[in-house]
Amino acid sequence: MFDNLSDKLDKALHLLKGHGKITDVNVADTLKEVRRALLDADVNFKIAKDFTTRVKEKAIGENVLTTLQPGQLMVKIVKDELTELMGGDATGINLSGNPTVILMSGLQGSGKTTFSGKLANFLKTKKNKKPLLVACDIYRPAAINQLHVVGGQIGVEVYSEPENKNPVEIAQNAIKHAKANGFNVVIVDTAGRLAVDEEMMNEIANVHKAIEPHETLFVVDAMTGQDAVNTAKAFNDRLNFDGVILTKLDGDTRGGAAISIKSVVNKPIKFIGTGEKMEAIDVFYPNRMADRILG
């Protein structure tokens, strides 16, 4: 994960360590390399620029040039800023409802259905919850089947109404079913399209309004880089979602989405998907990710 970015940042910061005497020029060169590493990882230009400006201000504020180990202090400053950029502290999900209603949003192929299953499994096995999965994709019968397959794998019931073409009704009926049968979490998987379009947005906005979820999660494929950030913005403008799920971080993603998304939509990344299996889900901890990136 992010090996390339890790290597480049490591090299950039070693510039400082290699010099006997640290000067303004060394620091400036280092920051230039740090910025280049971020841009190469597909971080948006403005975010990368602001990042290095903040690191520079901190380095000046902490008198990096006069400390005993300026290289190490620079690494710490960069790590702290990277943590902050990715969201600061980890944020869990709100499970206060009875049932807690969670609405999944995102484009087709982002990993929504897979993640719905992973989350149900996580809540069942780690949080002792009784989740119900709900298939609200009214366009693709295959999507309903896929959720049933996922539910079967993890032993979680799936609610669907294959004949009903009204996703609002399906979601509302599912919540009634959950209440009547002792489910304490309802995870609603919705239809996605290949690109953002008005009809899809209206549909999910209607479901959102009708069921008033405790958590609205936006699922995005980290491999799509800058597009991930743009899609997040489009969904957030309509849904004002609560958190982001970054999937496919096991692939050779350059990492730009993970680093940029929080500062663009100002919503935390809550979980990451790291594989196709139901167990491939991790709570997202910005500090651990920063540690990992900076080695």
Binding residues for GTP: 106-113, 189-193, 247-250
Contacts of 100 (CB under 8 A, 6+ apart): 94, 184, 185, 186, 214, 215
Tell me: does residue 253 bind ligand GDP (CB under 6 A).
Answer: no
Among 99, 111, 213, 286, binds ligand GDP (CB under 6 A): 111
- Choices 1-9, 42-50, 59-67, 102-110 (CB under 6 A): range interacting with ligand GDP: 102-110
Site for ligand GDP in 181-240 (CB under 6 A): 192
Q: What is the dihedral of CA 78, 80, 85, 88, to 10 degrees?
A: 170
Shortest distance, position 50 Cβ to ligand GDP, whole Å: 29
Q: Which is nearer to ligand GDP, 33 or 203 (CB)?
A: 203
Q: How far does the chain reach from its first CA to its final CA, in angstroms?
A: 12
Give the Å distances, CA to CA, from 39 to 5, 59, 228: 10, 21, 15
Q: Closest by alpha carbon to 260, among 110, 49, 20, 79?
A: 49
CB of 256 to ligand GDP, least distance (A): 17
Query: Sheet harboring 269-273: ordered strands across?
Result: 158-159, 131-136, 185-190, 100-106, 215-221, 243-247, 269-273, 281-283
Does 160 bind ligand GDP (CB under 6 A)? Our answer is no
Is there binding between residue 255 and ligand GDP (CB under 6 A)?
no
User: Which one of 273, 284, 290, 293 is in contact with ligand GDP (CB under 6 A)?
Assistant: 273
Interface stretch with ligand GDP, choices 8-16, 70-78, 231-239, 272-280 (CB under 6 A): 272-280
**Helix, strand, coil: what percent of the chain each, to 5?**
55, 15, 30
Taking the least distance from each CB to ligand GDP, the nearer of 65 and 234 is 234
Q: Is residue 105 near ligand GDP by the rule CB under 6 A?
A: no
- Which has the closest alpha carbon to 105: 184, 173, 188, 171? 188
Q: At 100, which amino acid appears?
A: T
Q: Is 151 in the site for ligand GDP (CB under 6 A)?
A: no
The DSSP secondary-structure symbol of 182 reads T
Stretch that binds ligand GDP, among 23-31, 106-114, 125-133, 175-183 (CB under 6 A): 106-114
Q: Measured from the CB atom, is 30 or 113 closer to ligand GDP?
A: 113
Q: How far is the CB of 258 from ligand GDP (least distance, A)?
A: 13
In the block, which residue shows the tokens 């959950």?
178
Binding site, by residue number, is 106-113, 189-193, 247-250
- The span from the CA of 73 to the CA of 60, in Å, is 11
> Which CB atom, from 276 or from 291, has the smaller least distance to ligand GDP?
276
Report the residue number, 108 or 287, with the smaller CB distance to ligand GDP.
108
Interface residues toward ligand GDP, by CB under 6 A: 106, 108-114, 192, 247-248, 250-251, 273-276, 280
